[in-house]
Structure 1
Amino acid sequence: MEYTIFGKTGMKVSKLGLGGAPLAGDFGKTDENDVQRMIHEALDAGINFIDTAPKYGFGESERRIGKALVGRRDKVVLTTKAIRSDLTYDYNSTIQSVEDSLQRLQTDWIDLLQIHDVETQPYELVVNETLPALEKMRQEGKIRYIGVSTRDLPLMMKYMKTERFDTIQFYTRYMLADHTAKDEVLPLAKEMGLGVINGSVLGMGILAESPAPFLDQETLDEAKERLDKLSFLRKTEPRGLIEPGMRFSLSQPDIHVTLTGADTTAVLRTNLSFCDGQGLDPEDQRKVYQLFQGQPLFS
């Protein structure tokens, strides 16, 4: 396992992190006992970063993670989010969201609390109510650091420039078929010393040729064209672009944590095999960067 320093937080984190959405069965039915075993195997393999949210399984992901971490909590950088995009991110709701997460996770503190999907909320509400609530809880020692999460990169940069965040998390914005985060967001995050988390590096299943069922046909058609242009990367797999997709993110020095959305130990072990410090061939990397320059895949 490779490790890096998570921006100005100073925390040492594994470059591969465990994402919590699949653990609650959001992408298919999961067995709780299997999930418990997988979490322990991830920890035993050196993963020390777990990311979840109240939205995942409406709290079930947090509950399962909390159960698995009994006796091992101090070995993990634990991150969750507030609140849920179907709720309003007002001051009191934010406080309650974090308190509920603490109970489900069976912990007295959360290392990183991120504001989830800020594009769903008015900017003024987040700045004037959500952030102050989290800052209060940081003063109380219930959370250590504050982050912001969205795939809307211009909005992300607006929040970054408030200088009130320690970390950022985007998804589907640094992957083989859409690497728009590299143009402005990653350089600014590096300049500001922010920790960077990259989610959905397989583009909601597109790079694994198992696209999420909620994706619209226009996006799927565009994705197929992009996959055809990326066919030169198909060197080790009969199906999909999983290995080059994972290596593309894991080898980016300005991304501190690449999340794996494993729901079985088999998927976990496959992703762990890419944590050897080996990125794409430099010529292949150059070709990827030339493709789709400045062209996001998802709206």
Structure 2
Amino acid sequence: MQYRTLGKTGYDVSSISFGAWAIGGTWGEVSEQDAMSALHRALDLGINFFDTADVYGDGRSERLIARLRRERPEAFYVATKAGRRLDPHTAGGYNAVNLRGFIDRSLQNLETETLDLLQLHCPPPEVYERDEVFGVLDGFVQDGLLQAYGVSVETVEEALTAIKHPNVSTVQIIFNAFRFKPAEQFFAAALEANIGILARVPLASGLLTGKMTPQSSFAPDDHRNFNRHGEAFDRGETFSGVDFETGLKAVEELRLLVTEGITLAEFALRWILMFPEVSCAIPGAKNAAQAEANARAADLPPLSEATMRGVAAVYDRLIRPQVQDLW
């Protein structure tokens, strides 16, 4: 496993970390036994950063990570998120009273007295303009409730606005071989501001595993079944906003670039790590085998310049017209 510094937090985090959305909910059924096996195996392999949220399984994901802390002596970092419990989800809801309530609930779920990292969870765009929201977070840091805070965003524009606030430490943003825009329009500014970058949806909701076909089906409670057009939340969260059939075509072309002996998923994760501005990629894992497969990508050799150009060519021809201007 390789490690990189997570921006202003100073945390040295595993370049392949663990996204805990799938073990919480909206990815189909995951048993507690499988979820815990995935978490334990991740720790075995040197993964030391786990990303969750208070709404993943209504707190289930946080509680599973708390159990991991009870069962293992190793120190590791946990990032959670707050804001999506608001109903309605409005900018005005991001106030001191509501945020403190969300934080207290996460502290209870995670069985801890302070959060390593709290991220605003894809709030309405106007929240990023509100100095008072970030002032509230500064107060929570001073009070010891948080060690650091950041944001999880939908768009590059939101990311650029967020990092104008001096104490934002991290930005979590969708970045993968189907989503180039962050590298083109955000990474340089993030590097200058010493912002940690968490690359989320790194496998485009599984499309970049290469395991899907036109006949693939998903459980009723899996967002890949019910959110393809943004019916439940932002469309970009599902398959990175790429039309499923177009994504399958692009995957077949990417296969031609993959070195023998590695999987397309490992290739896709290693592609993300070719960008030194990225602190870590946070693929999900529903079981121990998936955690192992994710971790292997950290130790693969660098991709060649020709391979990187090949990935870019596939994006430019098939994917860019669909997503570049939207997120």
What's 2:122 paired with? Answer: 117
Note closer, same or farther for the CA distance 1:14–1:274 as it changes in structure 2 (3 Å cut). same
Pairing partner for 2:257 from 219, 233, 240 = 233
Map 1:1-299 → 2, pairs under 5 A: 1-70=1-70, 72=72, 75-84=75-84, 86-87=86-87, 88-118=93-123, 120=124, 122-123=126-127, 127-171=130-174, 174-208=175-209, 209-210=211-212, 212-213=224-225, 214-216=227-229, 219-236=243-260, 241-293=264-316, 295=320, 297-298=322-323, 299=326
Contact 2:6 2:279 in 1 (8 A): yes
Query: Where does structure 2 lack aligned partners over 5 or more consecutive residues?
Result: 88-92, 217-223, 230-240
AA at the equivalent of 1:163: P
Contact 2:7 2:194 in 1 (8 A): yes
Secondary structure of 2:58's partner?
Answer: helix
CA positional deviation for 1:65: 0.9
Q: TM-score, normalised by structure 2?
A: 0.82
What's 2:234 paired with? Answer: none
Q: TM-score, normalised by structure 1?
A: 0.89
Note closer, same or farther for the CA distance 1:218–1:30 as it changes in structure 2 (3 Å cut). closer
Contact 2:266 2:296 in 1 (8 A): no
Contact 2:152 2:173 in 1 (8 A): yes
Note closer, same or farther for the CA distance 1:277–1:7 as it changes in structure 2 (3 Å cut). farther
Residue range with higher mean Cα deviation, 104-113 or 67-76: 67-76
AA at the equivalent of 1:168: V
1:186-241 residue CA offsets vs partner (Å, 9 max, x unmatched): 11111111111001111122212448223249722432343344342244489x83
C-alpha separation between the residues in 2 aligned to 1:20 and 1:218? 22
Note closer, same or farther for the CA distance 1:242–1:34 as it changes in structure 2 (3 Å cut). same
C-alpha separation between the residues in 2 aligned to 1:236 and 1:104? 43
CA positional deviation for 1:297: 4.5
Residue range with higher mean Cα deviation, 200-209 or 55-64: 200-209
Secondary structure of 1:144's partner?
Answer: coil
Matched residue pairs, number? 294
AA at the equivalent of 2:48: N
Alignment RMSD? 2.5
Contact 1:95 1:134 in 2 (8 A): no
Note closer, same or farther for the CA distance 1:296–1:70 as it changes in structure 2 (3 Å cut). farther
AA at the equivalent of 1:152: T
